[in-house]
Amino acid sequence: MPVKLIQCAVYCLGLMPLCLQAEQVHEYVLDNGLKLMVKEEHRAPVVVSQVWYKVGASYEHDGITGISHALEHMMFKGTDTHPPGEFSRIIAANGGRENAFTSADYTAYFQQLERSRLRISFELEADRMRHLVLTVEAFAKEIRVVMEERRLRTEDKPTALTHERAMSVAFQTSSYRHPTIGWMADLEALTVEDLRAWYEAWYAPNNAIVVVVGDVDAKAVRELADKYFGPLPPGKPVLPVLRPEVAQDGMKRMTVKVPATVPYLLMAYKAPVLKMALDQPERFADWEPYALEVLAGILDGGNSARFSRRLVRDKQIAASVGLHYNLYARMESVVVIAGTPAEGHSVDDLERVLRDEITDLQTNPVAASELARVKAQVVAGNVYDRDSIFFQAMQIGILESVGLGWPVMDEYVERISAVTAEQVQTVARKYLTDERLTVAELDPQPLEGVARAGSAERAGHAQ
């Protein structure tokens, strides 16, 4: 399979129509508003079932941050039909695996099972979609688990804490300034009544998308969905929550002083995403987000990319450095560049060479050979990812949840392949500017006396 996929990725750059035949996704809407997406994939006798709710941290407001993630934890606390612990026990007994995750723009639950066991997933998910039992006692215990998760994943992890603080400064009005796991003060104040209201408002069939990918028959899946999800009553109509970010007036700088062993630098540039480009064509060209995606590959696309090759190996000024950009965010997002200076170098040294790399992109068009190589890498990465039925379901769920629609998935290769060197230069000049920049520096403080410093990250759900 990998050989076939490599060939596809290479051919896609020159023989696009052969590789871009849309992969059929069967789309249904039940009478109660639940959306069902089914993609048949018959390579192995397994199925992935995911339930996506169009609510996440970016839907929250001051005072209840973290409630989407806290509710995700409580979704495993049982119903009258299936007491606490039975959901996971049944999935495990049937040889499956299951989990959930919360993000800024959505909350999702998933199971991976042998194909004949899909009914089990539907029965359990339909039951907890409208019949979850929320008790004061269970919530009192679980919220302490969530708070400990926050301590381990953020407060005891200096780079994560710096990222959290940086986002809270970079975004002024957008709810992207809130961490997905929530602020500790809000977690301490949350009540089970808050969660009950959140559950009633957002966990309803007309706000849910069920995605099934695997060795299934689409019509049979539809019949199964009618049987288990069909009887559920719809909730009150809910509208997307959008809190647009105000225009940034100039560069922001901040310092985070916490116990740590090494310094750290984070540079966040406000940047549009595909949803913005499609909704506001008068402001953003629809190729810009794809050009930013290619720009990300030029700077941080593996060992041959500029950051790794020039700053880590050649100049040896960075011990590590990376870039993150989310093409499929729901609202205005950021291009985040972050790294650690090499021994003997300072954060200022690292910022200087990172700025040099950005200036280089802004002033010199990327060579045709480098652009072709990077686009091939980006496309190949996408093709490899789509070898996974779980990833395919993830892509469908994400695109549907943020309002882009699943067909965007099949446009990716063509749009990336069409990006030019001039377009990369244009987005670098337009968006990687000081007027859009927030710089956060981690200033390490002594570790002496810190009980949990250096704690290993523990598995959790919030992303």
Catalytic residue numbers, as ranges? 72
- Strands, E, within 215-330: which ranges? 252-259, 264-271, 318-324
Output the six-digit token pair for 207: 């706000």
Instruction: Report CA dihedral (117, 122, 124, 127) to the nearest 10 degrees.
Output: -160
**DSSP H helical ranges for 190-260:** 192-202, 218-228
The vertex-265 CA angle with 260 and 268, nearest 5°, equals 135
Asked if 55 contacts 202 with a C-beta cutoff of 8 angstroms, the reply is yes
Closest Cα partner for 99 from 72, 70, 138? 72
Sheet (strand 437-445) strand order = 252-259, 437-445, 264-271, 333-341, 318-324
Q: Residue 142: which residues within 8 A CB-CB, separation 6 or more? A: 70, 73, 74, 77
Output the six-digit token pair for 66: 């973290």
Q: Tell me, what amino acid is at 262?
A: V
Length of the chain: 463
CA 346, CA 343: separation in Å to the nearest integer?
8
DSSP structural state of residue 383 = H
**242 CB neighbour count, 10 Å cutoff:** 12
Q: Residue 133: which residues within 8 A CB-CB, separation 6 or more? A: 77, 78, 79, 80
CA 332, CA 343: separation in Å to the nearest integer?
35
CA 331, CA 167: separation in Å to the nearest integer?
14
**350 CB neighbour count, 10 Å cutoff:** 26
Q: Output the DSSP codes for 110-121.
A: EEEEEGGGHHHH
